Structure 1
């Protein structure tokens, strides 16, 4: 039997057989609560006046790997800047295992193993640090699973998942959808009309991704671009500040800067090319006949054959392209079918012989129009007068009049002969004198 010195907690765990003395376990034994028990056993016979003897029994409890490691998170630094250096501390953890010996030896791993984090240990304290630079634009957050495994048989393990956010750093400048933009706008546009939208994106976040658009104030054709166009800072919508005139300005370009609100701010520039298209806003003007409204009179000889060039009409248009492609036509009554007008060159020619029965003066109305939509036109009037042929006079063979020019030609020839003779005489005289001087010197 147990002696009176045996504690009650031992009596609750163990029992002793009164006849055989076998000590048995009657409830669960937990090494983590008590690793040994002390009990006192007495033995006595059943005789009268028997004397009991005592002994001390010590029961040692052997540890079994029945407790998995316990992970305790002490601190977590999240978010972590994406430009943080390697070995930046992200989390601090500690590991507890109630077992002992080899069952208490714990190893830590990060799952999955390809994450940019690693574990550093100091006794039973561990730190999770970065092992490489982070990139929020590639991976904005990580789920880091830490697994602790003890050395028991079989081994037991436990896990804890830490969510690590990556804080944005302004390391990306805005990026335009296109490096250059081409815009075509019809002249006589309404001021403040939108021309195009310049769009840029920034992979950063927050203020680092908020973009402001501005036009660089470059001079173009001697005029500041800021007087032509403007841009909405928040949306990048480019709109005109004035009505464009194709005849004065046909194209210009400018640069738009997209800048984020990071510290320090980053920016990029895109070029916008504006091409002004012509509209048919000018009527043709006559150059010949004169455009001042004065009447033009041309002449033609009587009995002229068909196809004789009478006159040529010239006109021009300030517009361009089809708006300046001119087409001539002749408007006259049916009886004035004596003349025809080439629709492209403006040449007026006779269609038949000019006979005696024709009038002496013809009034032709020339019409010119362009090919714009809608087309514009102008008209002018040309008067054509028919002149009679001068009479032919036969020469009188008895009267020959020497032209006055013949006498002048004779006088000029005489003067040239005299001048040439005098020059030759002076030259020969000079040679003769030089020869005499040379001979005298030798003598």
Structure 2
């Protein structure tokens, strides 16, 4: 090793020897160099032209004067032009720029080997010129910028190797130190002198976050150990590679959307937007409903997987659900997918699409007609599935009825009684309850309620008239139906079930129930036994009608049962004293009378008296001489209706002394019944006839005529009174009975013959003839009139009384 190198090494060591030791060492080296025959020089690189290197001639022991003669020359294996010798002074100097790095590169030893050749004699000297390194090269990195790609998921203290800088210098000049620009993520790991140690690298001291700092710009500075120090830098671009460490994030965690109900299918609800701070596939988001979304939501909505649009799938009803909570997740396409979540609240707006609904919770029907005002009939519940004004329901009642609606509670109404009820006037009401909501336009619903009015026994059975006139022929069959009473009860059910009964009373010595009976259900009145008009002309029957209510109500009707006469009694002759004579049978003989000859025509000589227990036509008697032989030549005649036997002509001597007259007494019944009276008249001379008897006979005849006049006056007055009463009776009777003619019994009179008489004669006509005349005039007899009016019976009775009075007189 050359002296200079040893010197440099000694100087640079930390254990510097004492100066004495160093000098001794230098002397020893010098002697060794001299013995070796070589000269060693050193020159710094980059020395300027002419820089002194050494006194080569002197050091080789050559004289300056002989340099030229001996052809002193210097040859070099390397570039020979770097050093030059001045032959004048024998000094070796730098001729051109010496670049140690160019000559030796990274070699620790760098020398120029010179061969010094001289002739005469030929000698070769070896000269070594050490080129000393100076710090003329800065540290150089492989490039000005280095890009590092690091995953953001790498763990802390991870090492990222770096390629260090190079320095063309050597030794201290090439001893590099590194420094990293200030940052919070990396620290620098410097290489050690041990080549087996790790190389230069970056140590991760803080987790990377690509989303926060996708790129890091660092400066790595290399500083050599020269004086002055030279530095080299490289730009480090750390690209943080994305790791799927960020879940998609929606703009908002909660979205609120309002939609009207009944929107069309496909209507856009909302378009969601989620972002992922990652990149690439890690940032590709797929939208979907969360797994815990209810099936109802999935049936109502669908979501576009790519765009995040939520649209309506099917009909939505506010009344079914007022809102929907949709849980949405956005999932990225990373190797380990991450998901972000948001909630979409879809609130439906109500529209008036539901009609009110009425429900009758309870019905207190039927309602009694005597129910007090305020009685609750029905409880009505109204509802509307809409909300707000659309769900506010009001109820009204129509038509006008004795009821009203009362709001008792929210959405509850009571149908209550607001007026008096009368089932007999109105037995049921059909009311309509209308429920109307407050929407625009309003929707309504109606419900019909039939309110049945329950009957209360507040009406007694009522007969069409308080009294009926019934005509029954005598000698009726036992059990014959004579009339049917009928009462109507305005109530219903048991309250209207009428039963009939006879109001018992005494008729003479017998009870009324022995004459007639009434059927309890049908009201048919039956005659229990044959009636005899001669015994009982008028039977007053009172029938009671009772309903089935509790308590029962009742009313009565009176039947005036007139027994119509049948021609069942023959005329009966009266004796002169007024009693019945001869039993009234045919051929009965009356006492004989003396008649004076010479009486003129028309002289009453006797009187036949007869009565008939019947009445009317059946009691109207007529007298006539029996059509026997000689009756036509008889000098006597009989008054047709008076029964007076008078002379038909003047009696003469030719007439037989004894006259036997057979007087036939006939009633007007159908068939007519008769009786006969035999009168024996003795014709005597006028002087033989007792004067007293003649006088008495004359006075009797005069009294009879006077009595007849009185009876006629009585009959005229009676007929006028009865006629006036008849007119009033007919008016009242027609008003009461024109619409509902009374029933006639099976035993009623069929075709009675009516007879009226007056003082001047008689007239008669049959009801059958009157009906024929009425039909001939086109005006039939009203069916409501009885076949034998009462006034005719009265007239017949008056006639009978008149005849009896006449006979008596």
The yes-or-no answer on 1:175 pairing with 2:470 is: no
Aligned to 2:503: 216
Deviation, 1:153, is 2.5
Counterpart CA distance in 2 for 1:204 and 1:4 is: 73
Over 3 Å counting, the alpha-carbon distance change for 1:23 and 1:221 in structure 2 is same
Paired residues of 1:15 and 1:26 also in contact (CA < 8 A)? no
Counterpart CA distance in 1 for 2:599 and 2:549 is: 87
- Over residues 258-282 of structure 1, what are the superposed CA-to-partner deviations in whole Å (9 max), with x where a residue is unaligned? 1111111111111111111222222
- Over residues 243-271 of structure 1, what are the superposed CA-to-partner deviations in whole Å (9 max), with x where a residue is unaligned? 22222221131221111111111111111
- Over residues 23-49 of structure 1, what are the superposed CA-to-partner deviations in whole Å (9 max), with x where a residue is unaligned? 6555544434142546567699x99xx
Over 3 Å counting, the alpha-carbon distance change for 1:338 and 1:148 in structure 2 is closer
Deviation, 1:4, is 7.7
Over 3 Å counting, the alpha-carbon distance change for 1:376 and 1:34 in structure 2 is closer
The yes-or-no answer on 1:314 pairing with 2:609 is: yes
The yes-or-no answer on 1:119 pairing with 2:409 is: no
Aligned to 2:476: 189
Aligned match of 1:344 in 641, 644, 652? 641
- Between Structure 1 and Structure 2, the one with more helix by share is 2
Over 3 Å counting, the alpha-carbon distance change for 1:254 and 1:16 in structure 2 is same
Counterpart CA distance in 2 for 1:152 and 1:71 is: 17
Larger Rg, first or second structure (1 or 2): 2
The yes-or-no answer on 1:291 pairing with 2:581 is: yes
Aligned length in residues:
389
Over 3 Å counting, the alpha-carbon distance change for 1:57 and 1:378 in structure 2 is closer
Counterpart CA distance in 2 for 1:94 and 1:360 is: 119
Deviation, 1:112, is 3.3
Deviation, 1:360, is 2.5
Over 3 Å counting, the alpha-carbon distance change for 1:357 and 1:234 in structure 2 is same
Counterpart CA distance in 1 for 2:565 and 2:630 is: 38
Aligned match of 1:334 in 630, 649, 654? 630
Aligned match of 2:565 in 278, 300, 316? 278
Over 3 Å counting, the alpha-carbon distance change for 1:18 and 1:253 in structure 2 is same
Aligned to 1:375: 672
Aligned to 2:656: 359
Counterpart CA distance in 2 for 1:226 and 1:94 is: 62
Aligned positions of 1:23-62 closer than 5 A: 24-25=311-312, 27-32=314-319, 33-35=321-323, 37=325, 58-62=345-349
Counterpart CA distance in 2 for 1:62 and 1:390 is: 145
Tell me whether 183-192 or 301-310 shows the greater mean CA deviation. 301-310
Paired residues of 2:595 and 2:683 also in contact (CA < 8 A)? yes
- Provide the secondary structure at the position in 2 that maps to 1:208: helix
Deviation, 1:221, is 5.0
Paired residues of 2:475 and 2:532 also in contact (CA < 8 A)? yes
Tell me whether 219-228 or 172-181 shows the greater mean CA deviation. 219-228
Paired residues of 1:6 and 1:40 also in contact (CA < 8 A)? no
Over 3 Å counting, the alpha-carbon distance change for 1:321 and 1:26 in structure 2 is closer
Aligned to 1:13: 301
Deviation, 1:162, is 3.6
- Provide the secondary structure at the position in 2 that maps to 1:386: strand
Paired residues of 1:118 and 1:131 also in contact (CA < 8 A)? no
The yes-or-no answer on 1:228 pairing with 2:515 is: yes
Deviation, 1:369, is 1.2
Deviation, 1:58, is 4.6
- Provide the secondary structure at the position in 1 that maps to 2:349: coil
Counterpart CA distance in 2 for 1:37 and 1:111 is: 45
Counterpart CA distance in 2 for 1:346 and 1:98 is: 107
Deviation, 1:359, is 2.9
Counterpart CA distance in 2 for 1:256 and 1:97 is: 62
Root mean square deviation of aligned Cα:
3.4
- Provide the secondary structure at the position in 2 that maps to 1:75: strand
Paired residues of 1:41 and 1:57 also in contact (CA < 8 A)? no
Paired residues of 2:289 and 2:303 also in contact (CA < 8 A)? no
Counterpart CA distance in 1 for 2:417 and 2:687 is: 113
Counterpart CA distance in 1 for 2:658 and 2:313 is: 148
Higher relative contact order, structure no. (Cα contacts within 8 Å, ≥ 6 residues apart): 1
Paired residues of 1:13 and 1:28 also in contact (CA < 8 A)? no
- Provide the secondary structure at the position in 2 that maps to 1:243: coil
Over 3 Å counting, the alpha-carbon distance change for 1:26 and 1:354 in structure 2 is closer
Deviation, 1:213, is 0.5
Aligned to 1:323: 618
Counterpart CA distance in 1 for 2:349 and 2:290 is: 24
Paired residues of 1:35 and 1:62 also in contact (CA < 8 A)? no
Counterpart CA distance in 1 for 2:659 and 2:331 is: 164
For structure 2, which runs of at least 5 residues remain unmatched after alignment? Answer: 1-273, 275-286, 583-587, 689-809
The yes-or-no answer on 1:251 pairing with 2:538 is: yes
Deviation, 1:365, is 1.6
TM value normalised by structure 2: 0.44
- Over residues 364-419 of structure 1, what are the superposed CA-to-partner deviations in whole Å (9 max), with x where a residue is unaligned? 2222111111111111222222324559xxxxxxxxxxxxxxxxxxxxxxxxxxxx
Deviation, 1:211, is 0.7
Counterpart CA distance in 2 for 1:238 and 1:311 is: 51
Aligned to 1:398: none
- Provide the secondary structure at the position in 2 that maps to 1:103: helix
The yes-or-no answer on 1:64 pairing with 2:64 is: no
Deviation, 1:198, is 0.5
Counterpart CA distance in 2 for 1:376 and 1:28 is: 107
Paired residues of 1:304 and 1:354 also in contact (CA < 8 A)? yes
